[in-house]
Chain A
């Protein structure tokens, strides 16, 4: 896919860049989900990473590479805190999900009123000069650069998560998901496991957020930390298949073109809101008829064909 990049024209490159962004974010969300932790506030980690990276680079003058690491660290810290607080107070199930929303919204409102990062007016990165810019140094470039960047981190995340799930920790997380009390009885360190999985999930999300911030060039609390993007992040993995490694990627390939396509259709027909309507209807269709998601159904189909 990376090789195909330069061959496509820039429209497809931007579209696929967005696909891989959501695929990457979906992978991070899915990771938390493997331990049974439903995150409805993933925008928090995305946004923290984005803002930290942007602020340290633009105002702080640090190298973007370092800023991204700082952003990831901050998101990971936030995730750890939330997981620790949730674990310590035995907040489970739907209440944990609501806790994630609460923290995300708290952060969003705080950023909305924090003048240092621009409040609701937004934080803007200086425009780059395409002639003198060296993308690997500034981590900002043209369409092709971001396309390759997102393909790369998605692939990296895939292999990383695959390794994690096959490791001791992966088994622990799945055990906690299945039955936390039984897992505890078997000696699984539940609190530590939960903090670890959320820290990794959040840290990775922070990286994605940082890169996304560079792609957008400007950040607004509402769009990068709000409920809307938190929901957008989880639709792709759920549609594609929660719990499978490839699910979020497949889901993103399905959902992002759908989102953009229905946008365009709505505008063409002069039908304001048509995009939201179609988007919702298709999601409803998938969740109703393909309960485990698209990818597991494909896998079963291929396996049935083979035998």
Chain B
């Protein structure tokens, strides 16, 4: 029995790391621009299709393709931000919301039109394999995805902490007027931020493609999971997104095991409500100024 629990827990943690990558993208966008990206899940699905496409073309494992998906989605995010979203920064919230909903609709529509509604699984030799460490069996695909996600997260954190551009982004998030006063080009920073955020989503999507079958309608689930993690972990907090992701991945897995698979999201939503009420800035967020 303990072996079952250990396996479920480890599986949950592994997928949680990938969820964390998705949430990281969302929290960066929100933390810097205060914009609610309701199309985040759709970006993840774009990444899934990229992962699937490159896998069927070149037969490389998706974890190798995550950087490609990241690059492509960075370009998309950068372009979208400069092109349209920047104009919406000062608009009321419901307008921003509808903007992203329209993106989400168009992306899903494109996916349906180009790829159809059927789900496309990736079947490789590793699909059924697992590593055995003591009493625990770790899914090979999940482990690879989690490791790659962790790598990307660490790279991102180092970038934000030590590079000039990264520090500009954090400056803009901290104090917008101050950042402009010292000469930071805010529009460019926003564009890079959007690019990074969507790149995270895309990379995560490519990593997820072998685990969940690729299809257009997964998008909403990912958007919602990302939001739950970001709120619980704290808007704009990177460690919050990472720990929140693992927490949600873990709780989903445990809820599926202990209560019922159909109700696994209930616990996450309940947690969301609790956090919104008791600690609206999240477990690791900073109090609003």
Contacts and interface: CB of A to CB of B under 8 A. Distances in A.
Interface string B106-129: 111111110011000000000000
Nearest to B105: A280
Interface in B237-288: 260, 262-263, 265-266, 269-270, 272-273, 276-278, 280
A31 interface: no
| Most central of A93, A112, A272, A291 by chain B CB within 10 Å | A272
A112 B262 contact: yes
B105 A38 contact: no
B110 A277 contact: yes
Contacts of B231: 95, 98
Contacts of B210: none
Contacts of B102: 280-281, 283-284, 287
Given A38-B94, A234-B94, A273-B109, A109 B117 contact: no
B6 interface: no
Contacts of B105: 276-277, 279-280, 283
Contact of B216 (A238, A242, A271, A273): A273
A258 to B, nearest CB: 12
B219 to A, nearest CB: 11
Contacts of A238: 94-95, 98
A37 B134 CA distance: 53
Interface in B72-99: 84, 87, 91, 93-95, 97-99
A281 B106 contact: yes
A276 B231 CA distance: 29
Given A89-B277, A105-B269, A113-B263, A235 B98 contact: yes
A125 interface: no
B74 to A, nearest CB: 22
B276 A283 contact: no
B93 A38 contact: yes
A293 B250 CA distance: 43
B98 A102 contact: no
A291 B93 contact: no
Contact of B276 (A95, A275, A278, A291): A95
Interface in B6-41: 36
Given A113-B260, A238-B94, A287 B99 contact: yes
Given A113-B263, A235-B101, A274-B113, A95 B280 contact: yes
B109 A109 contact: no
Interface of A, helix, strand, loop or mixed by DSSP: helix
A217 to B, nearest CB: 25
A113 B262 contact: yes
Interface residues of A, number: 46
A250 interface: no
A44 B101 CA distance: 19
B106 A277 contact: yes
A282 B207 CA distance: 33
Given A38-B93, A227-B220, A234-B94, A278 B109 contact: yes
| Most central of B103, B117, B277 by chain A CB within 10 Å | B277
Contacts of A186: none
B273 A103 contact: yes
A102 B106 contact: no
Contacts of B48: none
A156 interface: no
Nearest to A269: B113
A273 B112 contact: yes
Given A40-B97, A273-B112, 4 more contacts: A112-B262, A235-B98, A272-B113, A273-B117
Interface of B: 36, 84, 87, 91, 93-95, 97-99, 101-113, 116-117, 216, 220, 224, 227, 231, 260, 262-263, 265-266, 269-270, 272-273, 276-278, 280
11 contacts: A98-B231, A101-B227, A109-B262, A113-B260, A228-B220, A235-B101, A274-B109, A277-B105, A280-B106, A280-B109, A288-B84
